[in-house]
Every structure is written in C-alpha cells, then in structure tokens.
Amino acid sequence: MKPHTNQLIGKAILDALPTRPLDSNKGNFGSVGILGGAPGMTGAVLLAARAALHLGAGKTYAASLSSGITLDCMQPEIMLLDPSQLLDTALTVLAVGPGLGQSEQARQLLESALKNPAILVLDADALNLLAASPDLKNLTLARTSPTLLTPHPGEAARLLACDTKTIQRDRPAAALQLAEKYCAWVVLKGAGSICTGPGKEWRINTTGNPGLSSAGMGDVLTGMVAALLAQGLEPFAALQLAAYLHGAAADALLLQGIGPVGLTASEVMLEARKILNQRAI
Ligand SMILES: NC(=O)C1=CN([C@@H]2O[C@H](COP(=O)(O)OP(=O)(O)OC[C@H]3O[C@@H](n4cnc5c(N)ncnc54)[C@H](O)[C@@H]3O)[C@@H](O)[C@H]2O)[C@@H](O)CC1
Ligand SMILES: Nc1ncnc2c1ncn2[C@@H]1O[C@H](COP(=O)(O)OP(=O)(O)O)[C@@H](O)[C@H]1O
C-alpha cells in the first residue's frame, strides 16, 4: 500500500536519534515534573511519571493533589513532592493534567504552571480547565516556551467549543485549529493520532490498535512525550515519536498475545522502552 503523504514515519525519527555519550550523566537527560492526581486519580499521575522514567528522563518528579502520598512503592526512583514544591523545582518539562480534576485548587495550579518557564505539556483535566477559561487561554498565548496539548476527541471538542462528531469528521482540520487557537503543538489522539503545530505541517500515526482503548493509556503517552522533550527532542518530533512508540508497543504486545483484550498502560510503557532502546537516545 502506498504510504499516505502525511504518514508519520516514526522509525525514521527513531533511527535519526543520537546515541547517549559514554560520559553522560542524569543532568544530560532533563528533569520532568508531572502534576495531577486529585483524590481517586493518583494512579494517573503515577502512570505518567513512570512512563517518563522508563522513556529516559534524567530525573522524574511528581506531585499529586491527594495529600499524603510521599512514595511510589513500585517506582521509588520518582521524587514525590507537594504541588507547590514541584512548581518551585527547576524543570525541563512540566506536564499538567493526568487525574488533575477541575477543583479551584487545580485551576490555580494550572495558572501557576502556565507562568512556569519549563516546556509545558497539558493533558486531561488541564485541557478541560483551559477550555473553560479565557484567562487561562490568554496565559497560554503569552507563554514564551513551547506548549504542547494532548487531547482525545472529547477534550478537543471542549477546546474548540464544538462536539466530538465535528472533531472526528475532519481530524487533521481539528488538530490544525487547535494549534492555531492555542499557539501550541498538538497531538489529537485516537485511532490515527494527528500531530501538528504552529507551522501547519501535520502527520498521522499508523501504529496502535484497539487494545489502547483502556484507561490510563493517555497518561502514559503524556509521560512519554515529556521524557522525549526532556532529552532534547523538538516538540513536533517528540509528539510524533511518542505517538509512534505508544502504538508500536501495543502492536508488538498484540503479537505476543497480550491484548487487545486486557492490555494495560503499564505494559505499554515497558514495551515502548524496548523499542526506543533499539536506538537509545
Ligand atoms: N488511574 C487513574 O487515576 C486514571 C485517571 N484518569 C483521569 O480521569 C479524568 C477523566 O478522563 P476521561 O478521559 O475518562 O473523561 P472525559 O470526560 O474527559 O472523556 C471521556 C469522553 O471523551 C470522548 N472520547 C475520548 N476518547 C475518544 C476517542 N478516541 N474517540 C471518540 N471519543 C472519545 C468520549 O466521548 C468519552 O466518553 C482525567 O483527568 C484523566 O487523567 C484517566 O486517565 C484514566 C486512569
Ligand atoms: N483504537 C485505537 N487505536 C489506536 N490508538 C488508540 C485507540 N484507542 C485509544 N488509542 C490511544 O490510547 C490513548 C488513550 O488516551 P486517553 O483517551 O487520553 O486515555 P486515558 O485518559 O484513559 O489515559 C491515546 O494515545 C489514543 O491515541
């Protein structure tokens, strides 16, 4: 089959990555912070942080709005802070949204995050809060470092004040509109994720399968995008490589009989690490 003109060639981005120098140290691979986790959704922030760690971030921090969580017992490498401490930490990339909720505290934290000099990735409830507030939109437009948005079609519809059907009718057009409206880099998720940015160029990802239609997969994608940005990839390349690896991991697991039914987000991040290490950054 002839490749689509706008088909994302993830393998080419992967093959072009430089290998890690022998004398590298953790400071060379960036610091990622993940902010989210309202009560009942701490899992979302941990999934994103674990994905950032496994995809190669030099240091990974996380902060949850649910009080009292000081350690990820499964992944003690992650440094768990209070939200205010996280926002005072020097970060290469800050990702806000997984399980964040839409409380007043969440809104205030997002407002501070939008003023943070780190590269910013907005997902899930950060996108819902942004969609509901002209003030937060103005802060987004005023940012001087890159902003990336990772909406699923439901979140994209809220951001563009339309319905999900309209988004799905012309997904490239919707992604381009989002990039323009928020002056941001965008991955519009779902089967055939669309990656685009302010330059109007767009790519469609062809990896992935319905095994990915399960809760937590988007949180893992956010952590993966953050890790690739922290290691120096440009926003457009980071979005494309993350979408490619996320889908390719699910496809590889399918061939092993893991999925589509019962595939978990935790399995996807480990398989994505394996594929990334075929050409380690
Ligand atoms: N372990 C955890 O703590 C988890 C927490 N989560 C958090 O839960 C919160 C709510 O997120 P939800 O995404 O569940 O709720 P939403 O209300 O944002 O989205 C659900 C709706 O969006 C639409 N949609 C999503 N993907 C679509 C697609 N590919 N095609 C068409 N329509 C689509 C559908 O209409 C769907 O009913 C977020 O903050 C999220 O981060 C989830 O990520 C799941 C895991
Ligand atoms: N049928 C599918 N084919 C390919 N990718 C899919 C499919 N269903 C879901 N995905 C991917 O899985 C992820 C789901 O993200 P999201 O809807 O935000 O989930 P959650 O919020 O539960 O973590 C996205 O990256 C999306 O592109």
Q: For the chain, which residues make up each domain, given as ranges? A: 10-279
How high is the ipTM of this complex? Answer: 0.93
Look at ligand 2, atom 4, and give the residue with the nearest C-alpha: 191
Q: Any known ligand binding at 246? A: no
How far is ligand 2, taken at its centre, from the CA of residue 222, in Å?
11
Per-residue pLDDT of the chain (281 residues; tens, 9 = 90+): 556 789 888 888 888 888 899 999 999 999 999 999 999 999 999 999 999 999 999 999 999 998 778 899 999 999 999 999 999 999 999 999 999 999 999 999 999 999 999 999 999 999 999 999 999 999 999 999 999 999 999 999 999 999 999 999 999 999 999 999 999 999 999 999 999 999 889 999 999 999 999 999 999 999 999 999 999 999 999 999 999 999 999 999 999 999 999 999 999 999 999 999 987 76
Q: Give 78-84's long-range contacts (Cβ < 8 A, gap of 24+).
A: 78/46, 78/49, 78/50, 78/53, 83/35, 83/109
- Please name which ligand lies nearest the alpha carbon of 125: 1
Which one, of 181, 167, 152, 143, lies nearest residue 243 by Cα? Answer: 152
Q: Give 186-189's long-range contacts (Cβ < 8 A, gap of 24+).
A: 186/148, 186/149, 186/150, 186/151, 186/239, 187/148, 187/149, 187/150, 187/151, 187/221, 187/225, 187/239, 187/242, 187/243, 188/151, 188/153, 188/156, 189/150, 189/151, 189/152, 189/153, 189/218, 189/221, 189/243
Look at ligand 1, atom 24, and give the residue with the nearest C-alpha: 154
CB of 217 sitting under 6 A from ligand 2: yes
The rounded distance, in Å, linking the Cα atoms of 190 and 205 is: 10
One-letter identity of residue 129: L
How far is ligand 2, taken at its centre, from the CA of residue 251, in Å?
13
Name the class of domain 10-279. alpha beta
Look at ligand 1, atom 31, and give the residue with the nearest C-alpha: 153
Pocket test for ligand 2, best of 50, 194, 212, 214 (most atoms within 8 A of CB): 212
- Please name which ligand lies nearest the alpha carbon of 210: 2
